[in-house]
Amino acid sequence: VYVDTTFCVPEALYIPPRGDCKQIVVDTITDWFKRNRSCSKLMIHIFSRSFYGYEFLMMALAKHFNCKIHVTAAQYHRYRFVPDIVNILTRNAQSTTTHFCQQDSKFGRFDRTLLPCGKELNFLPNVLQIIPSVMYFTKRKHKTCNQKILKSKIKHVIKKK
Protein backbone atom coordinates (compact mmCIF):
# COMPACT_ATOMS: atom_id res chain seq x y z
CA VAL A 1 0.00 0.00 0.00
CA TYR A 2 1.32 3.41 -0.99
CA VAL A 3 -0.02 6.54 0.68
CA ASP A 4 0.75 9.78 -1.12
CA THR A 5 1.38 12.38 1.58
CA THR A 6 2.43 15.20 -0.76
CA PHE A 7 -0.27 17.53 0.53
CA CYS A 8 -0.36 16.35 4.15
CA VAL A 9 1.27 19.52 5.38
CA PRO A 10 -0.23 22.51 7.18
CA GLU A 11 0.44 24.73 4.15
CA ALA A 12 -1.92 22.61 2.04
CA LEU A 13 -5.09 23.11 4.07
CA TYR A 14 -6.80 24.74 1.10
CA ILE A 15 -6.83 23.24 -2.36
CA PRO A 16 -9.58 24.56 -4.63
CA PRO A 17 -12.15 22.12 -6.03
CA ARG A 18 -11.41 20.65 -9.45
CA GLY A 19 -14.53 22.22 -10.94
CA ASP A 20 -13.45 25.71 -9.86
CA CYS A 21 -10.00 25.24 -11.37
CA LYS A 22 -11.50 23.95 -14.63
CA GLN A 23 -13.77 27.00 -14.86
CA ILE A 24 -10.88 29.36 -14.27
CA VAL A 25 -8.86 27.72 -17.04
CA VAL A 26 -11.85 27.87 -19.43
CA ASP A 27 -12.51 31.52 -18.55
CA THR A 28 -8.83 32.45 -18.95
CA ILE A 29 -8.61 30.79 -22.37
CA THR A 30 -11.91 32.37 -23.50
CA ASP A 31 -10.71 35.80 -22.40
CA TRP A 32 -7.36 35.34 -24.15
CA PHE A 33 -9.06 34.33 -27.41
CA LYS A 34 -11.35 37.39 -27.18
CA ARG A 35 -8.49 39.80 -26.51
CA ASN A 36 -6.46 38.37 -29.41
CA ARG A 37 -9.22 37.75 -31.93
CA SER A 38 -7.32 39.62 -34.63
CA CYS A 39 -4.53 37.00 -34.51
CA SER A 40 -5.15 33.94 -36.63
CA LYS A 41 -2.46 31.70 -35.18
CA LEU A 42 -3.49 31.34 -31.55
CA MET A 43 -2.76 28.17 -29.59
CA ILE A 44 -3.20 26.97 -26.04
CA HIS A 45 -0.61 24.71 -24.45
CA ILE A 46 -1.31 22.99 -21.16
CA PHE A 47 2.14 22.17 -19.83
CA SER A 48 2.31 18.91 -17.90
CA ARG A 49 5.08 16.69 -16.66
CA SER A 50 3.00 13.72 -15.60
CA PHE A 51 1.47 11.14 -17.90
CA TYR A 52 -1.93 11.04 -16.23
CA GLY A 53 -4.18 13.28 -14.18
CA TYR A 54 -5.24 15.82 -16.81
CA GLU A 55 -8.04 13.80 -18.40
CA PHE A 56 -10.76 15.82 -16.68
CA LEU A 57 -9.32 19.07 -18.04
CA MET A 58 -8.77 17.57 -21.51
CA MET A 59 -12.40 16.49 -21.72
CA ALA A 60 -13.69 19.79 -20.34
CA LEU A 61 -11.72 21.86 -22.86
CA ALA A 62 -12.65 19.61 -25.79
CA LYS A 63 -16.32 19.90 -24.86
CA HIS A 64 -16.32 23.64 -24.10
CA PHE A 65 -14.35 24.69 -27.19
CA ASN A 66 -15.71 21.90 -29.42
CA CYS A 67 -12.22 20.84 -30.45
CA LYS A 68 -9.79 17.97 -30.44
CA ILE A 69 -6.80 17.96 -28.10
CA HIS A 70 -3.34 17.53 -29.65
CA VAL A 71 -1.10 14.96 -27.97
CA THR A 72 2.09 13.18 -28.99
CA ALA A 73 2.05 9.68 -30.47
CA ALA A 74 3.23 8.30 -27.11
CA GLN A 75 0.40 10.02 -25.25
CA TYR A 76 -2.12 8.82 -27.83
CA HIS A 77 -0.80 5.28 -27.44
CA ARG A 78 -1.34 5.40 -23.65
CA TYR A 79 -5.01 6.36 -24.12
CA ARG A 80 -5.79 4.10 -27.11
CA PHE A 81 -8.08 1.81 -25.08
CA VAL A 82 -9.98 4.58 -23.29
CA PRO A 83 -12.77 5.57 -25.73
CA ASP A 84 -13.91 8.68 -23.84
CA ILE A 85 -10.39 10.09 -24.07
CA VAL A 86 -9.06 8.78 -27.38
CA ASN A 87 -12.12 10.17 -29.21
CA ILE A 88 -11.15 13.75 -28.28
CA LEU A 89 -7.46 13.39 -29.13
CA THR A 90 -5.53 14.10 -32.31
CA ARG A 91 -1.92 13.56 -33.32
CA ASN A 92 -2.21 16.27 -35.99
CA ALA A 93 -0.69 19.40 -34.43
CA GLN A 94 -2.12 21.72 -37.08
CA SER A 95 -5.71 20.53 -36.72
CA THR A 96 -6.46 22.16 -33.35
CA THR A 97 -5.65 25.14 -31.17
CA THR A 98 -5.55 23.16 -27.90
CA HIS A 99 -2.37 21.24 -27.06
CA PHE A 100 -1.49 18.89 -24.22
CA CYS A 101 1.54 17.57 -26.13
CA GLN A 102 4.51 16.74 -23.96
CA GLN A 103 8.22 16.98 -24.59
CA ASP A 104 10.19 13.79 -24.67
CA SER A 105 11.98 13.97 -21.31
CA LYS A 106 14.73 11.56 -22.42
CA PHE A 107 16.35 14.54 -24.15
CA GLY A 108 17.03 16.27 -20.85
CA ARG A 109 15.16 18.90 -18.87
CA PHE A 110 11.71 20.09 -19.84
CA ASP A 111 11.71 23.39 -21.68
CA ARG A 112 8.54 25.27 -20.75
CA THR A 113 9.31 28.00 -23.27
CA LEU A 114 8.67 25.77 -26.29
CA LEU A 115 5.54 24.29 -27.80
CA PRO A 116 6.68 20.64 -28.01
CA CYS A 117 5.08 20.17 -31.44
CA GLY A 118 6.39 23.46 -32.81
CA LYS A 119 8.49 21.74 -35.48
CA GLU A 120 5.34 20.08 -36.87
CA LEU A 121 3.69 23.44 -37.53
CA ASN A 122 4.21 25.40 -40.72
CA PHE A 123 3.77 28.71 -38.88
CA LEU A 124 4.91 30.41 -35.68
CA PRO A 125 1.93 30.43 -33.29
CA ASN A 126 1.05 32.91 -30.56
CA VAL A 127 0.82 30.57 -27.55
CA LEU A 128 -0.87 30.92 -24.17
CA GLN A 129 0.77 28.38 -21.90
CA ILE A 130 -1.01 27.26 -18.75
CA ILE A 131 0.90 25.34 -16.12
CA PRO A 132 -1.57 23.63 -13.77
CA SER A 133 -0.03 23.31 -10.31
CA VAL A 134 -1.64 22.55 -6.99
CA MET A 135 1.61 23.49 -5.25
CA TYR A 136 0.93 27.16 -6.01
CA PHE A 137 -2.13 27.09 -3.77
CA THR A 138 -0.14 25.70 -0.85
CA LYS A 139 1.94 28.89 -0.78
CA ARG A 140 -1.05 31.24 -0.43
CA LYS A 141 -2.14 32.77 2.86
CA HIS A 142 -5.82 33.30 1.91
CA LYS A 143 -7.93 30.20 2.41
CA THR A 144 -11.32 31.50 1.29
CA CYS A 145 -12.77 30.00 -1.85
CA ASN A 146 -14.25 32.54 -4.20
CA GLN A 147 -13.87 33.22 -7.89
CA LYS A 148 -12.00 36.51 -7.50
CA ILE A 149 -9.27 35.01 -5.32
CA LEU A 150 -8.99 31.92 -7.51
CA LYS A 151 -8.66 34.06 -10.64
CA SER A 152 -5.84 36.09 -9.12
CA LYS A 153 -4.07 32.87 -8.12
CA ILE A 154 -4.33 31.14 -11.47
CA LYS A 155 -2.96 34.13 -13.36
CA HIS A 156 0.34 33.63 -11.56
CA VAL A 157 0.81 30.19 -13.14
CA ILE A 158 0.06 31.33 -16.68
CA LYS A 159 2.92 32.22 -18.94
CA LYS A 160 2.21 34.12 -22.13
CA LYS A 161 4.61 33.79 -25.01
- Whole-model pTM above 0.85? no
d(CA 19, CA 28): 14
pLDDT tens-digit map of 9-30: 777 777 778 888 899 899 999 9
pLDDT of residue 36: 87
Per-residue pLDDT tens digits for 148-158: 434 444 443 33
Burial class (CB within 10 angstroms; exposed 0-12, middle 13-18, buried 19+) of 57: buried
